[in-house]
A = this chain, B = another copy of it.
Amino acid sequence: MKLTPEQLERFDREGYLFFPALFSGAEIAVLTDEVPRLYAQDRPENVREKGSDAVRTNFAAHMYSYPFAKLARHPRMVKPVMQICGDALYMHQFKINGKMAFDGDVWQWHQDYGTWKNDDLMPEPNAMNVAIFLDEVNEFNGPLMFIPGSHRLGVIDAEHDTSTTSYPLWTIDKDTITKLVGRGGIAAPKGPAGSMILFHSCLVHASTSNLSPWNRVAVYLSLCAVDNHIRRFRRPEYIAHRDFTKLECLPDDCLLNDYDVPLPWKDGTPESALRGIAA
């Protein structure tokens, strides 16, 4: 798994790369089998949709779930990110976003790095978003929508939206989105479970509600260069991690075979990780 010069050039131009069916059905089954157990847990890492029990986001599963701890170290995911962001990477954020059938709500247009800069004081956008589909993504279950090329503008002014959904977000105004889409259009990669997207932390993206009867669960991993680690711990640690240890890759068969991985929050989230720390 090594990105070609053409792929690197395309990433630079469009801000994302799509790898359909990168993980096998057997590999994905190891992860999907674990999700209901995670969502059923009554722990603060589960954020639910407004007015519903459906999980919008589960945070930090790699700290307490064996299959997801292995995914966090999977070479098919980590190695391409190393090519772009450098060899020393840590896990800044780890989410399983539900976008569940019928209940999955919108994510307004935003850049992830906007939040990381504003809330976490991450110095530079030298960090990568990775989406791994645990369900098929089609036109009806709320695919990620990207504005190709929008990452080249760096950080765009944003407003803190705390009302639209159950998760606060720095969102971008309508005039700016209209201009960016006029230039780059909208792209929405679709494909089977096991597909992977790498996308730049400044790429503007959104997703609509999911009214279909098909869940659209996806894992979102945000890897950051170790020397670019966050400087402020205002958000709880399960949302923005504070352990900047370099990720070590496991072998390529790690999802299907047993390997030793740390699970530091297996018996519960430490008190200190539940709160932000004042400056």
B102:A211 contact, CB within 8 angstroms: no
Task: Pick from A109, A142, A186, A188 the residue with the most CB of B within 10 Å.
Answer: A186
Task: Pick from A102, A178, A211 the residue with the most CB of B within 10 Å.
Answer: A211
Task: Give Cα A186 to B210, complex, Å.
Answer: 13
Q: State whether the Cβ of A256 lies closer than 8 Å to any Cβ in chain B.
A: no
Task: Give Cα A208 to B188, complex, Å.
Answer: 15
Task: Give Cα A186 to B181, complex, Å.
Answer: 27
Chain B residue, CB-CB nearest to A104:
B208
- Set of chain B residues within 8 Å of A139, measured between Cβ atoms: 139, 188
Q: State whether the Cβ of A206 lies closer than 8 Å to any Cβ in chain B.
A: yes
Query: Interface on chain A toward B: helix, strand, loop, or mixed SS?
Result: loop
Q: State whether the Cβ of A177 lies closer than 8 Å to any Cβ in chain B.
A: yes
- Set of chain B residues within 8 Å of A188, measured between Cβ atoms: 139-140
Q: Type the 1/0 row for A173-217, where 1 means its CB is closer than 8 Å to any CB of B.
A: 010011001100010100000000000000000111111110000
A101:B174 contact, CB within 8 angstroms: yes
Chain B residue, CB-CB nearest to A108:
B211
B206:A109 contact, CB within 8 angstroms: no
Q: State whether the Cβ of A145 lies closer than 8 Å to any Cβ in chain B.
A: yes
Q: State whether the Cβ of A40 lies closer than 8 Å to any Cβ in chain B.
A: no
B140:A178 contact, CB within 8 angstroms: no
**CB contact under 8 A between A102 and B212, given known A139-B188, A140-B186, A140-B188:** no
Q: State whether the Cβ of A106 lies closer than 8 Å to any Cβ in chain B.
A: yes
On A, residues with C-beta under 8 Å from B are 101-102, 106, 108-109, 139-140, 142, 145, 174, 177-178, 181-182, 186, 188, 206-213
